[in-house]
Amino acid sequence: MPAKDSVTGTILIATLLCVVCSLAVSAAAVALRPYQLANEVLDQQKNILDAAGLPTDEFGKPASQLSKKEIDNLYTWVSEQMVDLDTGEFNEEMDPADFDLVESATDPTLSTEIVPDPYDPGEDRRPNTMKVYFVRRGGEGPIRQVVLPIYGKGLWGTLYGYLALKSDLETIQGITFYQHKETPGLGGEVDNPSWKEQWNGLKLYDENGEPAAQVAKGPAPETDPYSVDGLSGATITSRGVTALVQYWASDQGYGPFLKKLGSKIKQESTAGDTAAASKPGNSTKKVGA
């Protein structure tokens, strides 16, 4: 055993200390990983609920101010399904719980190359299937909102978020971003509640059915049903948000799915009206008949 004050002893002690610290840090990382994953899931649930406007509607405050129990109860209103983006059909074979957006987008066997024409989200690929979310009061009844995962390039990296549509599938309910690298106070203003609130009621498509929702250059005209205010000092981020929203609304993104879902909702609504009209007591009698 070398002397403690020798060079060899010093190196040995330092090495042992490094090994012990490394093992401790690794053990802590492994032990805390389940809690980290749980927090990531909880954060995404909060963003989904905020995009759909449920916390404000039901509690008068954003999801960040709700307890975990309140979040869990409110999230029972949400159901998840996998959708084939090319066909717009539901994929019943895939389990939504197993879906990983980043992994799917980077795997050539699970994704499709993005053609940046006419809409360019700044990304190379998008998954063949995506997990979408349906919001129903109490988890039952007609669809209130549809929440769509979205992503695209900003200034410093990819923005990941959710776009919620009202039941007409043409009007935006809300938008949130749960992960991005934009500069605080500039592009980071995508997290500003007052800016996000401007998206509520915005029209996603123009009169010709083309994606039209956008971030304006500067203040948005009050009469413009498609625009929100530009992000001051963050031109590239503003363009990126416009590009990603329009891409995912297009036929390259959720377009086929939204068209088929819209037809299904109309058919169910018509069938419901017909059934209600056929119930006893709902028929109209002529006076004197």
The Cα–Cα gap between 118 and 207 comes to: 18
pLDDT of residue 284: 44
Long-range contacts of 161-164 (CB under 8 A, 24+ apart): 161/47, 161/51, 161/190, 162/47, 162/48, 162/51, 162/133, 163/51, 163/245, 163/248, 164/48, 164/51, 164/52, 164/53, 164/135
> In Å, how far are 55, 101, 136, 247 from 160, measured between CA atoms?
21, 10, 24, 14
What are the extents of the domains in the chain? 45-275
The Cα–Cα gap between 217 and 228 comes to: 9
pLDDT in tens, the chain (289 residues): 555 567 777 777 778 778 777 777 666 656 655 666 678 889 999 999 999 999 999 999 999 999 999 999 999 999 999 999 999 999 999 999 999 999 999 999 999 999 999 999 999 999 999 999 999 999 999 999 999 999 999 999 999 999 999 999 999 999 999 999 999 999 999 999 999 999 999 999 999 999 999 999 999 999 999 999 999 999 999 999 999 999 999 999 999 999 999 998 988 777 666 666 666 665 444 333 3
The Cα–Cα gap between 171 and 90 comes to: 22
* Token pair recorded at residue 36: 């980290």
The Cα–Cα gap between 92 and 96 comes to: 9
* Beta strands at 145-153 and 129-135: parallel, antiparallel or unpaired: antiparallel
Q: How does DSSP classify residue 115?
A: -
Q: How does DSSP classify residue 93?
A: S
pLDDT of residue 11: 77
* Token pair recorded at residue 232: 């001051």
Q: How does DSSP classify residue 232?
A: T
pLDDT of residue 238: 97
